Amino acid sequence: MVGEGRLAAAKNDLVWLLPLSLGGGLGNKEGLLELIGSSKANEFNEKWRKQVIAEAKVFMKRIDFTREYTNMVLEALESSSSSSNS
C-alpha cells in the first residue's frame, strides 16, 4: 500500500496536469478553492481522481495488448527460425 506521504505527493503532482488557467503548475490550490468554493472543488477533485484512475487502467490495458502482440511476434520469429534450421 502506498504510504501517506507518497500519496500526498502524488496528489500534489496532479496539479501539474491542470491548465495554467486553473492553477496548474502553480501549486495555488488555496486560491482555486476560494475562487470556486470548496464544495465544487471537492466535486471536481473527485471527478479528476476518477479520470486519472480510468486513464491508468487504459494505459495498463495498452501494455497488456503490447505484451500479447510482442509474444505473438516472438513466437512467429522463433518458429520461422527453427523451421529454416531444419
The reported pLDDT for the residue numbered 74 is: 96
- pTM of the shown model: 0.53
What are the tens digits of pLDDT across the range 7-52? 665 556 565 555 555 555 545 566 666 777 878 888 888 888 898 8
What are the tens digits of pLDDT across the range 33-44? 677 787 888 888
Give the Cα separation of 66 and 62 in Å (integer): 6
The reported pLDDT for the residue numbered 45 is: 83
Residue 20 cell numbers, joined: 495554467
Crossing angle of helices 38-84 and 29-36, in 10° steps, is: 120
Question: Residue type at 29?
Answer: K
The reported pLDDT for the residue numbered 5 is: 67
